[in-house]
Amino acid sequence: MTVSERQTLFDEQFGICPVCLKPDPEHVDHDHETGRVRGVLCFSCNAALGQFKDRPDVIRRAAGYVEGNVWKPKLVAPGVYLLPS
């Protein structure tokens, strides 16, 4: 990615991180499987996506957890758990 391409992404995002909305993001984010660039994120948001391995299902559960919607799997047989749908 060129400096100009990065600046275009930054400008298209109005100079803010599209996740947390803080100004002046610096880290180019990309899909680790395809290599496709998604945008420019702040350090914290870029690190968080990496920790969640870019998995939307995990990110959604984390958001629910933070919002107080905590669930626990239900044991239905030895080693078999019922997960929420």
- The pLDDT confidence band at residue 15, using thresholds 50, 70 and 90, is very high
pTM (two decimals):
0.76
pLDDT in tens, 28-84: 999 988 999 999 999 999 999 999 999 999 999 899 888 887 777 788 899 898 876
Q: Where are the domains of the chain?
A: 3-69
CATH superfamily of the domain spanning 3-69: His-Me finger endonucleases (3.40.1800.10)
- The pLDDT confidence band at residue 85, using thresholds 50, 70 and 90, is low
DSSP of 24-40:
---EEEE-TTT--EEEE
Residues contacting 37, CB < 8 A, separation 6+: 1, 9, 28, 29, 30
Compute the distance between CA of residue 45 and CA of residue 29 in angstroms, rounded to an integer.
Answer: 9
Strand, coil or helix: what is 58?
A: helix
Strand, coil or helix: what is 4?
A: helix
Q: How is residue 65 written in tokens?
A: 């957890």
Residue 24: exposure state from Cβ atoms within 10 A (0-12, 13-18, ≥19) = exposed
Is the confidence at residue 26, as pLDDT, over 70?
A: yes
Q: In the prediction, which pLDDT does 44 show?
A: 97
